[in-house]
Amino acid sequence: MKKLLVSPAPHLHGKESTRSLMRDVIIALSPSLLVSVYFFGFSAIKLAFVGVIACVLVEYAIQKYIIKSKVLISDYSAALTGLLLALNLPPNSPWWIVFIGSVVAIGVAKMSFGGLGQNVFNPALVGRVFLLVSFPVIMTDWTIPTSWFREGIDASTGATALSIVKEGLSKGLTMDQIFAEHNFSYAQMLFSKIGGSVGEVSALALLLGLGYLLIRRVIRPHIPLSIIGTIVVFSGIFWLIDPSHNPDPLFTILTGGILIGSIFMATDYVTSPMSTKGMVIYGAGIGIITVLIRNFGAYPEGISFAILIMNATVPLLNNYFKPGKFGKEVKHG
Amino acid sequence: MTNTIIFTVVSLTILGFVLAWILYLVAQKFKVNEDPRIDNVEAILPGANCGGCGYAGCRAFAEACVKADDLESLYCPVGGNDVMKNVAGSLGLKVVEKVPQVAVVRCNGNCDAREKVNHYDGFGSCAVMAGLYAGDTGCSYGCLGQGDCVAVCNFDAIHMDPRTGLPEVDQDKCTACGACVKACPKFIIELRNKGPKNRRIFVSCVNKDKGGVARKACDVACIGCYKCQKACAYDAITITDNLAYIDYNKCKLCRKCVTECPTHAIWEVNFPVRVPKKTESATIEQ
Amino acid sequence: MSKTFSIGGIHPNDSKISANAAIEDFPVMDMAYISVSQHLGAPAEPVVAKGDKVKTGQLVAKASGFISANIHSSVSGTVSSIELLPDIFGNMVKHIVVKVEGDEWLETIDRSPDIIRETKLSSKEIIDKIAECGVVGLGGAAFPTHIKLSPPPGKKAEYLLVNGAECEPYLTSDYRIMVETPEQILIGVELMMRALGVDKAYFGIEENKPEAIKVMKKLTSASYGSIKIVPLKKRYPQGGEKQLIDAILKRQVPSMGLPIDVGVVVQNVGTALAVYEAVQKNKPLFEGIVTVTGKCMTEQRNFKLRVGANMNNVMFAIGGFPKDAVKLISGGPMMGKAVSRMEAASVKSTSAFLLLTEDETKRGEEGNCIRCAKCVDSCPMGLEPYLLNRLSRAGRLDDLEANMVHDCIECGSCMYSCPANIPLLDTIRLAKAQVIKIIRSRPKK
């Protein structure tokens, strides 16, 4: 006689898996990757390739030989970390710097906390910040590499828009003068010819990725919206106070990795809050800290640090901002 | 340059002394006066914090011992009589001895004897499984085999035997703390006296179904046939709800019931192997 | 815009593949195994003995205790034994085994197809009639209906809610009766309104059953004005009592509370039909509509099935146990119970037998929690399943209570949506049982 299978309800399972979610994020990153390959050519491919391979290898080695657990590289989470790390580096970075970043990201930020789901800080960001602090020269060298199929590119102007502005302001120039001098335009930022890390070349490609993530319900819009909203409000206040020495809000959100940070870094499942309220506060915190770092800090960017600082508050946010419970407020009777 | 060094050293030293003095004052002010005997007793205890004594941990047990007038209701099963003797000595109380006990798994239904009638595909926990249904064999009383008892054991004294699918107690490591007894949702595990030379006899079944039903589900179930009760000369065996139970205080370990049991549900442990009875003809030949 | 409940919920594929199969009579079996414990509460006490002749619809076991229900024979024949047999969980339960001889119904049962609407019975008489006929809630929990229709003193029902949501995938038995016997259901609803003394009833139907909404709306606008049909957006678990009340009336039942605390009584459509048959046709509850479905089956069926048919009978009627199926579920795929023994028999509240293949139902390997919050987003009670799972595994009952584990309705949405295949509901259910026991054991204020 046939032996029945018995298990507690529910007997069906949705189609989503850790693997499919990670794969969706990788797919959402692909427009940015393609655009950067178009602009930076081989070096973008090289960085992405080294990042993915290095992260997967480091995770494999740690799981197999050090902690001797099950090898879980097939869930794509290490590959995603590698890709994100690569997309956050300057296009001209040497390959070994990606490798060091990967070792730090996976080995220090992820596996030492216990692997997937246990880490407090976003691994890719820890890798990036480690490199930024350890190799400041390489990490701020925005020279655009010569490309095989796009020769006409202006290889001399490599600095990011933000560092140009910061430098210009320190020289006593006003925003209008800087804009005029460097011929900035918003359309340029959307499709980008501006220097920056590999992944943030085109705001449009990043927004395309956001759209994909939202449609596939991989992430919810709360975190990106609250980050961008807060930045718009706060940088808007500074801009209104002194428009000649503060960049306007649109310029602020289109530069310095705000988009890639808020769409792909801050929304990392593991290191972001669980409840809607928590997400909004987390996003607002990132926005405020970013604006503060940009206006008063030493770094022209700042969203990386802002996200890492807010990562540390996530357990607290989870504890204090619970989802609204059903039946708490009785409206009648 | 030298000035800087001197200034640094001096200022830091002063700062250190001031802070140390503040710490000292605070420690004095908020000092909790505890009975020093609690520390003494805690030092004697095994420190496993298993909760087998019924208290939250060794410290809580030590506090209870210090407060108590006698040790009648306080016993550390892990430390056993030796530890309790020391505790009693340090507190100047009367020594209360207890017979050493061991956890005993009262289910004998291994994979051959107790056929599986369905496959379980849920969370690997006996408690979850017991909350769902009667189990993956025909016997609704027996071991579910998910190992909740193994998970709670602090002493590495109970393990699943992969051949039988049943838990096995390591009698040398078992401290009779009772954690597994509480963890088992089917109430299979019992603390029984270890017995002289670790010899003990028990009914390795908890099935309360009628004989036929029990036997159908498992070849080695107790069927409540009363044979063991009749064989027992010491009145140690009682049968309730089709299930025999041997009172370890009355049992004289004569082993008569073991041979009587038609389903081999009664187990003897640590006895020498029985010599097969010699027939008369065999004796003559000798 | 259609109404729906306010938090959480999921959208599983509804797979209502048996929706177009008309209800057919299940062939009467040779032996009926009638359990005395087909309802929530105390088992009924058998009033027949071995060798007694029984007719279809005759009382065979009497309610014992306050929460209990009468049980009637579903067949005619001779009682061959009263013995312990496994139920679907494998637990041994007393069953009255009847050897079937012919199909002779009690004369008091009105078997004519006429629809009778008028009644002169008072509220109490209706409730007594329902109790006598052993009607229980057919939404799943099998709570005796006569108790639910008698609110405790000091509480008054304002509205009756009829649950025609049938939000579980695969199930179509409620849909079939709404399409085939709509007027009988509406009369049953009217009878329950009369029993409760309320003058307004809301009838919630999910939008994936447009035919049922159309039929019901036509009838209510013609002559059943006190009943309002409410189309609901398709979303699971809409059919949960608390979610349905929230969806239709925007009232939220408090934690550990009952619908009556917000002035509502919820009844299933199947129960409404059973009430109609009991009160107007004098027919006890001994048969019901059961969907037998599964993607591995060639033909989908909706049977009118007598109580006491065992799984082997049912499988025989559909032409044998399908080769690919590994799991047989009594009820829907989200909250139904997996059948562990083929000897188990159908009961009053059986609504479906669902057959699933290994691909559809086998659990995936458990991975690490990636804190994606999909469980939090899907929980219709606003709980945090990932947290409850961890606390449950650590046995921290105080924290579990502080995080309202006792509010869990065991709908399975969290586990359905968990990408890491974590058995969230398994551990939460365990913790919920422990916490509720502790709460109940506390002295009442």
Distance, in angstroms, between C77 CA and closest chain A CA?
29
Distance, in angstroms, between A19 CA and closest chain C CA?
8
| Chain C interface test: which of B114, B121, B123 (most C C-beta within 10 Å) | B123
pLDDT of amino acid C25: 92
Maximum Cα–Cα distance for chain C, whole Å? 64
| Chain C interface test: which of A12, A69, A120, A213 (most C C-beta within 10 Å) | A12
Tokens of B111: 């994979």
pLDDT over threshold 70, residue A156: no
Chain B residues in contact with C359 by the CB 8 A cut-off are: none
Q: Give the tens place of pLDDT for each residue, A114-154.
A: 889 999 999 999 999 999 999 988 888 777 665 554 444 44
pLDDT of amino acid A252: 84
Please check whether residue C155 touches A, CB under 8 A.
Answer: no
**Do the chains contact at C341 and B121, CB–CB below 8 Å?**
no
Q: Give the tens place of pLDDT for each residue, C125-142.
A: 999 999 999 999 998 788
Please check whether residue A241 touches C, CB under 8 A.
Answer: no
Please check whether residue B110 touches C, CB under 8 A.
Answer: no
Decide if C400 contacts C387 (C-beta within 8 A): no
| Average confidence (pLDDT) over C49-76 | 93
The angle subtended at Cα C289 by Cα C286 and Cα C292, nearest 5°, is: 125
C70 vs C166: CA distance, rounded Å: 26
CATH architecture under which domain C1-23+115-362 falls: 3-Layer(aba) Sandwich (3.40)
Chain C segment 415-444 residues within 8 A of B by beta carbon are 423, 426-427, 429-430, 433
**Do the chains contact at C90 and B135, CB–CB below 8 Å?**
yes
**Do the chains contact at A274 and C373, CB–CB below 8 Å?**
yes
Chain B residues in contact with C341 by the CB 8 A cut-off are: 117-118
As beta bridge partners, residue C24 has C303
pLDDT of amino acid B9: 94
Q: Nearest to residue A226, comparing CAs of A136, A123, A306?
A: A306
Distance, in angstroms, between A187 CA and closest chain C CA?
35
Average pLDDT for consecutive 10-residue bins of chain B (286 residues)? 89 96 91 83 86 83 85 82 87 82 90 88 92 89 92 91 91 87 93 88 91 88 91 91 91 89 90 66 42
- Across the interface, of C251, C337, C382, the residue whose CB is closest to A324 is C382
Q: Give the tens place of pLDDT for each residue, A47-61.
A: 999 999 999 999 999
- Across the interface, of C89, C363, C427, the residue whose CB is closest to B128 is C427
Let me know if B212 is exposed, middle or buried by CB neighbors in 10 A (0-12, 13-18, 19+): exposed
pLDDT of amino acid B72: 78
C430 vs C427: CA distance, rounded Å: 5
**In terms of CA atoms, which chain C residue is nearest residue B118?**
C340
Q: In chain A, pLDDT over 90 holds for what percent of residues? A: 53
pLDDT of amino acid C217: 94
Whether a cis peptide bond, with omega within 30° of 0, leads into C113 is: no
Q: In angstroms, how far is the first alpha carbon of chain A from the final one? A: 55
**In terms of CA atoms, which chain C residue is nearest residue B183?**
C395
The angle subtended at Cα B113 by Cα B107 and Cα B119, nearest 5°, is: 85
Q: Give the tens place of pLDDT for each residue, A166-179.
A: 777 777 777 777 77
Distance, in angstroms, between C325 CA and closest chain B CA?
13
Going along chain B from its start, the domains and CATH numbers come out as 36-91 (1.10.15.40), 101-269 (3.30.70.20)
**Do the chains contact at B118 and C429, CB–CB below 8 Å?**
no
C343 vs C31: CA distance, rounded Å: 12
A203 vs B286: CA distance, rounded Å: 102
| Confidence label for A195 from pLDDT (cuts 50, 70 and 90) | low
**Do the chains contact at B117 and A3, CB–CB below 8 Å?**
yes
Can you give the three-state secondary structure of chain A, one letter per residue?
CCCEEECCCCCCCCCCCHHHHHHHHHHHHHHHHHHHHHHHCHHHHHHHHHHHHHHHHHHHHHHHHHCCCCCCHHHCHHHHHHHHHHHCCCCCCCHHHHHHHHHHHHHHHHHHHCCCCCCCCCHHHHHHHHHHHHCHHHHCCCCCCCCCCCCCCCCCCCCEHHHHHHHHHHCCCCHHHHHHHHCCCHHHHHHCCCECCHHHCCHHHHHHHHHHHHHCCCCCCHHHHHHHHHHHHHHHHHHHHCCCCCCCHHHHHHCCCHHHHHHHHCCCCCCCCCCHHHHHHHHHHHHHHHHHHHHHCCCCCCHHHHHHHHHHHHHHHHHHCCCCCCCCCCCCC
pLDDT of amino acid B35: 82
pLDDT of amino acid B284: 43
pLDDT of amino acid A331: 43
A236 vs A228: CA distance, rounded Å: 12
In terms of phi and psi (left: phi > 0; alpha: psi -120 to 50; beta: otherwise), the region of B129 is alpha
**Do the chains contact at C425 and A331, CB–CB below 8 Å?**
no
**Do the chains contact at A3 and B132, CB–CB below 8 Å?**
no
pLDDT of amino acid C80: 95
What is the average pLDDT value for chain C, to the nearest integer? Answer: 92
Distance, in angstroms, between B197 CA and closest chain C CA?
38
Distance, in angstroms, between B127 CA and closest chain C CA?
7
Q: How many Cβ atoms are within 10 Å of B64's Cβ, its own excluded?
A: 17
Side-chain half-sphere exposure of B229, counting CA atoms within 13 A: 13
| Confidence label for C153 from pLDDT (cuts 50, 70 and 90) | confident
What is the average pLDDT value for chain B, to the nearest integer? Answer: 87
Residue listed under structure tokens 């029985």: B274
**In terms of CA atoms, which chain B residue is nearest residue C393?**
B125
A74 vs A59: CA distance, rounded Å: 11
* Interface residues from chain A to B (CB-CB < 8 Å): 3-8
| Confidence label for A333 from pLDDT (cuts 50, 70 and 90) | very low
Residue listed under structure tokens 């699918």: B165
| Average confidence (pLDDT) over C31-55 | 93
A246 vs A252: CA distance, rounded Å: 9
Q: What ipTM was reported for this prediction?
A: 0.88
Q: Give the tens place of pLDDT for each residue, A67-76.
A: 888 888 889 9
Decide if B248 contacts B194 (C-beta within 8 A): no
| Chain B interface test: which of A5, A6, A12 (most B C-beta within 10 Å) | A6
pLDDT over threshold 50, residue C178: yes
Tokens of B91: 């507190």
Q: Give the tens place of pLDDT for each residue, C374-424.
A: 999 999 999 999 999 999 999 899 999 999 999 999 999 999 999 999 999
Q: Give the tens place of pLDDT for each residue, A88-121.
A: 998 888 999 999 999 999 999 999 998 899 999 9
Decide if B68 contacts B89 (C-beta within 8 A): no
In chain C, residues under CATH classification 3.40.50.11540 are 1-23+115-362
| Chain B interface test: which of A7, A11, A12, A13 (most B C-beta within 10 Å) | A7
